[in-house]
Amino acid sequence: MSQSTALDIRLFRYKKGATVIIAGTRNPGYFFIVKQGKLTVHSDHVLDDLSVGTFESGETFGLVSGLTGTEFLGTVVAQEDSVLIRVPLAALGRYLRHNRQICLKMLRSYSRELRSLDHSLSLKLGHHPLEGKPEKMIYNADIYLKLGKVEMAKYALKRYLNYAKGRNLAEMEVYRTRAQAMLEKLDPKYELPVRPGNKIILRPDEILFVEDEPNDYFYVIKSGQISISRLASDQELLLAILGPGEIFGEMALLEEHTRLASALAYSEAEVMRLSAASFLDVLGEKILHKIFESLARRIWFGHRRISVMTEEDPLLRIYRYLHLFIEREKIFTRQHLQSDIPLSFGLTELLKMTGLANAPPSVIEALQKDVNLTIREKEIVVHRFSQLEGKILQLQKQYRKKEQK
């Protein structure tokens, strides 16, 4: 019996104009690889800087809906006669271990989509002309200092100086001089942490890497939690708090860009450091499956988060975000969460996640007075999901009345 037969991997042929997938239908547990031909996807979920209109030879689709157990986001139609490979999700880890190039191509594809999601989110909150360049670390250091994050400022400056060392480009001298002067003022003896080996233990708030630094490795969380954040409009936007089994840092490595975000330990954590050249040899099939589950969750959440972040009313945006986060937990834990739902972040993190770190006191007071919420330092408990939905409807009505005046 061949491996493909054992894994129930099958070929499907579609004539030009045939509908392969209908938007809104639930994925029955497969993803698809385009072996030959070209397909068009029609979807309302379009990103600012990424074309998601076609799938061509070697590209994949269906993984996000399959791993999240949700509906297909778009309708896929064969633009020309096409041949697809259908792979059951149960065989994902094993299939990818035996098909290294397909695995790397899929990682790069989903990495680009995540980068575009984060980019679209950042555009809504502001864009810096040095975006994506190591020199932006110096600008970032100024913001970190204003936010009281002195360690992150020192780390960013030292990381830039190490990057600039040995590069004798005249245009870099201004940046190098400025970075050196800033670090001399803060801590002239500051050194970056030394972390030999692939296993890294982090203390709470310890920096793993910062936004815009050159990339080197990516990471898988073995235990604990890691916070992922970036700067936007001179404030810190908390993108995610990741837990065991999740992958991060892969966008910079697989696409050879600078780091899109900063990674710090949210709690005591252990992470595994990996390179693109070796990770398929190091990781087992189950962990490989978990990595793609992590990517799928983040893509699913990212698409919906952009819609939430367009909400102009700050209180409505916060409640919609809480609702989205619980929907995410329902999907990924396969649990029917309706009462006393604990969320693994506090009010400070919630405000940063919604781009409202400088929210007016009236917003914070309204949240603290809500009897449906229990707010602790690093935890928010939603007591009744139905009451949360009712609150959103109430705020939407109030906002529409204001708009009509």
* Domain spans, the chain: 3-91, 311-404
Phi, psi for 211 (deg, rounded to 5): -55, 135
Give the span between the Cα atoms of 305 and 303, in whole angstroms.
6
Token pair belonging to 329? 């937990």
The residue to which tokens 């050159």 are assigned: 214
- Architecture in CATH of 3-91: Sandwich (2.60)
- Whether 253 shows a pLDDT value over 90: the answer reads no
pTM (2 d.p.): 0.79
For 94-99, the CB contacts below 8 A with 24+ separation are 94/7, 94/285, 95/7, 95/9, 96/280, 96/288, 96/292, 97/280, 97/285, 97/288, 98/3
Token pair belonging to 281? 């040899």
Q: What value does the mean pLDDT take over residues 352-381?
A: 93
71 alpha-carbon distance from chain centroid: 20
Confidence of residue 239 (pLDDT cuts 50, 70, 90): confident
Q: What is the mean pLDDT of the chain?
A: 86
Radius of gyration (Cα) for the chain, nearest Å?
A: 23
Which residues contact residue 33 at a Cβ distance below 8 angstroms, ignoring those fewer than 6 apart? 58, 59, 60, 84, 85, 87, 102
pLDDT tens digit string along 7-66?
Answer: 688 999 999 999 999 988 999 889 999 999 999 988 765 544 444 578 898 888 898 888
- Whether 281 shows a pLDDT value over 80: the answer reads no
Which of 149-153, 233-237, 302-306 shows the highest mean pLDDT? 149-153
Compute the 3-state secondary structure of the chain and give helix, strand, coil in percent, each to the nearest 5: 45, 25, 35
Confidence of residue 348 (pLDDT cuts 50, 70, 90): very high
Torsion angle, alpha carbons of 53, 55, 56, 59, to 10: 140
Give CATH for domain 311-404. 1.10.10.10
Taking Cα atoms as reference points, which of 113, 116, 118 lies closest to residue 296? Answer: 113
The strand order across the sheet containing 54-56 reads 19-21, 75-78, 38-42, 54-56
The strand order across the sheet containing 30-36 reads 10-14, 82-88, 30-36, 60-61
Confidence of residue 256 (pLDDT cuts 50, 70, 90): low
> How crowded is residue 171: how many other Cβ atoms within 10 Å of its Cβ?
7
Which residue(s) pair with 240 in the sheet? 228
